[in-house]
Amino acid sequence: MRFFGEIVRGRLDVLPCRSLSEVFRAVNEGAATDGLIPIENSLAGSINESYDLLLKNDLVIHGEVILPISHCLLALEGQTLQDIRKVYSHPQALAQCDEFLERRGVETIAVYDTAGSAKMLKETNMQGAAAIASRRAAELYGLEVIAEGIQTNKSNSTRFYAVGRGLAAKGKRNKTVIVFATENKPGALYWCLGAIVCRQINMTRLESRPSRGQPWEYIFYLDLETHISDPSCREAIRELETKTLFMKVLGSFPAATGEGDGRYYENGGRGRQADTRCE
């Protein structure tokens, strides 16, 4: 709602999916125009399945949003905290609320989705049980919030990517995500990164993932603080194409900070830059 609510006129229809692969399938088959997938949690790190699906599919990242995680304990009307003996939610949500749950001494039961646990609770009229989900889930399914902000770490946030077929316009601050593979030889990654460094493009993320095709070989995901319409970005990509076994631009879009509307950087300074002259 935070991301698409600004760009969609009229009603926003939401298509729930049980898995990340279903999200990609829905967009590929035309059941949905866009998909929203989690890509990184500030505490747990990358969502590896999302990265693998981005590589496997031809959908383009055209935006991102960062949401602070605020877990609530939801129950049927009239239930109190003392009534709760079982708690249902997604495994990650249960893990992120471990201290609260241990203090309560309740039984935890993992299900496929946080909002899904709230839906199940309502549909089965389950007494003595609660779900961990958002306040919005409580509103949607007519449940009461009996405890709020129960996550162990209060600075927990998750980054989501919007994927589809359309290209994003350039924003105030931008991000370009690429993936590539190099030859297995000394200095291969070094020379690839040189194509970026010498053009003074800030690299905000570098992560390796095992190659699906070759055991013990790796592919690299890079987040660059630039837009593909920038000449320096296009030049870097052209040079990377000559130094890699394969390279793919996964998206180029306005970057988010998790503040304000959740879509654009409002400010943010840079530290002193190193000498990035091309030799």
Angle, to 10 degrees, between the axis of helix 231-243 and the axis of helix 188-197? 170
Over the stretch 34-76, which tens digit does the pLDDT of each residue have? 999 999 988 778 888 999 999 999 999 999 999 888 899 999 9
Residue 9 pLDDT: 53
**pLDDT tens for residues 144-192?**
999 999 999 888 888 999 999 988 989 999 999 999 999 888 999 999 9
pLDDT of residue 226: 96
What are the b/e assignments for 192-203, b being 16+ CB within 10 Å?
A: bbbbbbbbebee
pLDDT digits (tens, 9 = 90+) for 122-148: 999 999 999 999 999 999 999 999 999
Are 128 and 83 spatial neighbours (Cβ–Cβ below 8 Å)?
yes
Each residue of 185-235: pLDDT tens digit?
899 999 999 999 999 999 999 999 888 777 778 899 999 999 999 999 999
Domains assigned to the chain: 14-68+158-254 (3.30.70.260), 72-148 (3.40.190.10)
166: tokens are 């359309």
Task: Tell me which DSSP letter residue 64 carries.
Answer: E
Token digits of residue 52: 């693998």
The three-state secondary structure class of 256 is coil
CA dist 179 and 202 (Å) reads 16
Share of the chain above pLDDT 90, in %: 68
One-character DSSP codes across 145-207: EEEE---S-TT-EEEEEEEESSPPPP-SSEEEEEEEE--SSTTHHHHHHHHHHTTTPPEEEEE
- Report helix, strand or coil for 46: strand
Q: Which residues are catalytic?
A: 158, 160
pTM check: above 0.85: no
Report the SS3 class of residue 6: helix
Q: What is the pLDDT of residues 110-123, one digit of tens each?
A: 998 899 999 999 99
Q: What is the mean pLDDT of residues 83-111?
A: 94
Helices (H), 17-146: 20-28, 48-56, 91-96, 98-104, 114-124, 135-141
Alpha carbon separation from 113 to 53, 128, 131, 134, 146 (Å, rounded):
19, 20, 10, 11, 19
Decide if pLDDT at 264 tops 90: no
Higher per-residue pLDDT: 9 or 22: 22
